Amino acid sequence: MAGETRASLLRVAGLKKSFTTPQGRLAILKGVDLELDVGSSLALMGESGSGKSTLLHLIAGLDDADEGEIFLDDVAVTRLPDFGRAALRRETLAVVFQQFNLIPSLTIRANVAFQARLAGRLDPVWREELVGRLGLENLMERYPEQLSGGQQQRVAIARALAPRPRLLLADEPTGNLDEATADDFIKLTTEVVAATGCAFLMITHSKRLAARLERQVTLSSGVIKEL
């Protein structure tokens, strides 16, 4: 990728966020600056409680920042109302959580199609391709509880990528998986992400897995540092 110029997709500038605790206000993010280009991948590392998930939630529009700006495709996420942020999550980005967060009452087929249907852009050919690449063909009529953790996380990835998002956010997606399954998962995910051309931001504690992505940064004392 060296030498190749890619347009900027995500730009975070001077982002601050603090929480009220019994001991008073606790500043988690103290002015985060971060950029992510179209189609690139980034591993976000840091100690527990350093604010990685908070940063991801702010980027996804799941929470409000105290200060600073987040631009996604030149859209100021921080200034969008709830409805606009929901549209952004539906159409521009996708989130994968550590707990998979599949809808327990829907079959795997319905789960995979869910977000794409919401966005109004379900492409059956692309869905089948995703299902094939992620090895979910024989699981489509099952329910989430009938799948192993690794299988559920693959379904979560399929659901996230089905609407062809511009940015995939993953919050410790391998936290509940064993090492071999985690390796498998990262390999598959990076391949599929590369095939779609979407950018990928992953929170992880594993340096080994982080090394599989293009860039690695750490969040420490409320600011981003390149590794």
Residue 216 interacts with another protein (CB under 8 A)? no
Q: How many angstroms separate the CA atoms of 43 and 48, rounded?
A: 15
Residue 91 interacts with another protein (CB under 8 A)? yes
Half-sphere exposure of 3 (CA within 13 A, CB side): 0
Q: Which of 13, 27, 106, 188 binds another protein (CB under 8 A)?
A: 106
Q: How many angstroms separate the CA atoms of 221 and 4, rounded?
A: 32
Q: How many angstroms separate the CA atoms of 103 and 172, rounded?
A: 19
| Interface with another protein in residues 168-187 (CB under 8 A) | 176
Q: How many angstroms separate the CA atoms of 93 and 96, rounded?
A: 10
**Whose Cβ is closer to another protein: residue 6's or residue 49's?**
49
Ordered strands of the 215-220 beta sheet:
93-96, 167-171, 199-203, 41-45, 215-220, 223-226
Residue 140 interacts with another protein (CB under 8 A)? no
Residue 196 interacts with another protein (CB under 8 A)? no
- The token pair that represents 171 in the structure block: 């919050």
**Whose Cβ is closer to another protein: residue 27's or residue 87's?**
87
Residue 89 interacts with another protein (CB under 8 A)? yes
Residue 4 interacts with another protein (CB under 8 A)? no
For binding to another protein (CB under 8 A), which residues are involved? 57, 60, 62-63, 82-83, 85-91, 94-95, 97, 99, 101-106, 110, 114-115, 117-120, 143, 159-160, 176
